[in-house]
Structures are given as structure tokens and as C-alpha cells.
């Protein structure tokens, strides 16, 4: 009985793993099919001859190269901004004592409870009133700081003994020197994980870019992808090629930095 149970539950996990992977595999396969193959009834699993030109065609039909450049630029700059603001604020929250610190921490924790979707629309208005629609500034500015990552980093920094800070102070080290010469080198792993996670969420961001951009040249990958999907109609093979293009970079990042990413999500998940 126990052995039977074992077999059944293993089979279940294997089937679920297949279900999890299947959309990705099928996306890849269909991206290499001809239009006839992709829409044949019954559906085909494998293309007879891989059509690599689908990718070239998809890239031609919509400015995906521009989307890529935009996405990478926006994600990198917001990640960098988040890193800087989070390091500074996490340092202040962990190593310094000041009046109102507890109130501030409480307020920030309360803000974490506010769903992004509740504030995103009024943020759009702020941006619209500043006349920043269709600019990189609009895409980047709200994600230049993050309470979430500040708390994530704070958790990590609190494991660095306060005596390091005191010793540095005694040796006449300024706060900024302490941050750049001691704090950052010591918290490299956390900063690294943070950057990957922040980059990925920038890469996948959707609601904000769709609100603040309406010119095709300013789109990011995900909203470029949805507009391509509606415009290209039934050209599913091209849609699959475009989806593959936007998913594969993240998959490669994941396969290289699997450990750091999973550890980072678990850490921030459980404590956040």
C-alpha cells in the first residue's frame, strides 16, 4: 500500500512538472512552425522544418528591438536607483538611531500593505500633470525606491555587527566611507540577489508602462507584446516567437543564477 502511494504521488509530481513546463516547450516549438502547422487541426507538436525566419518576421512586424532596448534601459536604471536608495536608507535604519525611527518603520510597514494597484492610477495622474507621459523618466521614477527591498536589505544588514560601525567611526571613517568600503562589500550577496529580482520585475512590469506610454517607441516588452498579439491577429506562430524572445532572457538568467534567485525569493518572501 505504501509503495503504491509512493508511486502515485511521484507520478502526480511528474505530471504536474510536465504541465508546468509544457506551455514553455510548446511556445518554443510553435515559434518554429509555419502558420499552417501552428493552426492545424488537430494541433501538431513538432514543426516539420524549424522556421527560424519566424523570429526575423516578428522582429520586422513590430519594433521589438526598440522594446528590448527600452526594457533593458528602464530595468537597469530602476534597479540601480533602487540599490542606491535602499542601501542608504537600510543603513540609516539599521546602524543609526534617530528620533521617530520606530514611527517611520511602522509607517513603512503599513505602506507595504497597500496594494500597488490602488496607487498606480493616481501615480499616473501625477505623471500626467508633470507632463511626463511617454518619457523614460515616467517609466523609471516610481521604481527608484522600494520599501520592500529596503526591508529586505535591512534584514541582511542587521546581521553585520554594530561593532564594525563603531570601529570604523573610531578610526575616523565617515558614514559614506563606511557604506562604500565596508557595508557594500559585506552585503554583496544580498545586493546581487536584490538586483536580479528587481531587474526581473522591471522586465516583466506591465500595468505601469501601459498607463504612462501610448507611443509605440516608448513601449516596454510586455505591453509591446500584448499590442503585437492584438495587431497580429491569428499569426500565432509569430506571437509565439515574440513571447519566446521576451521569456528566454529571463530563463537564461534563472538557469545561471538559480540558487541566488530562489534563496532571495524565499528570504524576502518569508520575512517580507
Partner 1 sequence: MEENSFVKDMTKQEPSKPKRWQNYSAENSPQAWLYLLPALIIIGVFNVFPLIRTFIMSMQTGKTLNSMHFGGFKNFEIILRDPKFHIAIFNTVTYAIVVVPVGLIISMLIATTIYTKIKNKTVFETIFFIPYLTSVIAIGIVFRYLFNGDYGFINYFLSWFGIGPINFLDDPNMSITTLIIFGIWSGLAFNIIILLSGLRNINENYYKVADMFGATKMEQFKRITLPQMIPIITFLSMVNFINAFKVYAQVYSLFGGKAGIANSATTGVFYIFNKFYVDFKYGQGMAAAVILFLLILTFTFIQNFVLKRISR
Q: Which of residues 44-83 bind partner 1 (CB under 8 A)?
A: none
* Rounded (5°) CA angle 236-239-245: 145
Q: Which stretch binds partner 1 (CB under 8 A): 33-41, 48-56, 62-70, 187-195?
A: 33-41
Using omega within 30 degrees of 0 as the cis cutoff, is the peptide bond preceding 110 cis?
A: no
Residue 203 C-beta: closest distance to partner 1, Å = 7
Buried b (16+ CB within 10 A) or exposed e, 155-173: bbbeeeeeeebeebeeeee
Q: Is 103 in the site for partner 1 (CB under 8 A)?
A: no
Q: Is 160 in the site for partner 1 (CB under 8 A)?
A: no
Nearest Cα to 162, choosing from 189, 191, 183?
A: 183
Q: Is 252 in the site for partner 1 (CB under 8 A)?
A: no
Residue 191 C-beta: closest distance to partner 1, Å = 15
Q: Is 145 in the site for partner 1 (CB under 8 A)?
A: yes
Q: Is 189 in the site for partner 1 (CB under 8 A)?
A: no
DSSP 3-state assignment of 48? coil
Q: How far apart are CA 93 and CA 250, in angstroms?
A: 32
Site string for partner 1, 253-272 (x = CB under 8 A): -x---x--xx--xx--xx--
Q: Count the residues of the shown chain that bind partner 1, applying the rule CB under 8 A.
A: 95
Q: Is 251 in the site for partner 1 (CB under 8 A)?
A: yes
Nearest Cα to 72, choosing from 224, 190, 185, 266?
A: 224
Q: Which stretch binds partner 1 (CB under 8 A): 49-57, 60-68, 105-113, 187-195?
A: 105-113
Q: Which is nearer to partner 1, 119 or 159 (CB)?
A: 119
Residue 181 C-beta: closest distance to partner 1, Å = 16
Among 182, 184, 186, 207, binds partner 1 (CB under 8 A): 207
Q: Is 138 exposed, middle or buried (0-12, 13-18, 19+ CB in 10 A)?
A: buried
Spatial contact of 237 and 35, defined as CB atoms under 8 Å apart: yes
Amino acid at each position: 500500500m505504501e509503495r503504491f502511494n509512493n508511486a502515485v504521488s511521484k507520478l502526480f509530481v511528474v505530471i504536474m512538472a510536465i504541465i508546468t513546463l509544457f506551455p514553455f516547450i510548446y511556445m518554443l516549438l510553435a515559434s518554429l512552425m509555419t502558420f499552417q502547422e501552428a493552426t492545424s487541426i488537430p494541433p501538431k507538436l513538432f514543426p516539420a522544418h524549424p522556421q527560424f525566419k519566424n523570429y526575423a518576421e516578428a522582429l520586422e512586424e513590430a519594433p521589438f528591438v526598440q522594446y528590448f532596448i527600452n526594457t533593458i534601459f528602464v530595468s537597469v536604471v530602476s534597479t540601480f536607483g533602487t540599490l542606491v536608495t535602499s542601501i542608504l536608507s537600510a543603513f540609516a535604519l539599521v546602524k543609526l538611531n534617530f528620533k521617530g525611527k520606530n514611527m517611520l518603520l511602522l509607517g513603512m510597514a503599513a505602506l507595504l500593505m497597500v496594494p500597488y494597484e490602488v496607487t498606480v492610477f493616481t501615480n499616473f495622474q501625477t505623471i500626467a500633470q508633470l507632463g511626463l507621459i511617454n518619457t523614460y523618466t515616467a517609466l523609471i521614477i516610481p521604481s527608484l525606491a522600494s520599501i520592500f527591498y529596503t526591508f529586505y536589505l535591512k534584514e541582511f544588514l542587521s546581521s553585520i555587527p554594530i561593532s564594525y560601525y563603531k570601529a570604523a567611526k573610531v578610526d575616523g571613517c565617515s558614514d559614506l566611507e563606511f557604506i562604500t568600503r565596508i557595508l557594500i562589500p559585506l552585503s554583496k550577496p544580498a545586493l546581487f540577489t536584490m538586483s536580479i529580482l528587481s531587474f526581473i520585475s522591471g522586465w516583466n512590469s506591465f500595468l505601469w508602462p501601459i498607463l504612462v506610454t501610448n507611443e509605440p517607441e516608448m513601449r516596454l516588452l510586455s505591453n509591446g507584446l500584448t499590442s503585437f498579439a492584438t495587431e497580429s491577429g491569428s499569426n500565432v506562430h509569430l506571437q509565439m516567437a515574440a513571447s519566446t524572445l521576451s521569456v528566454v532572457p529571463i530563463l537564461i538568467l534563472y538557469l545561471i543564477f538559480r540558487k541566488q534567485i530562489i534563496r532571495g525569493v524565499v528570504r524576502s518572501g518569508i520575512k517580507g
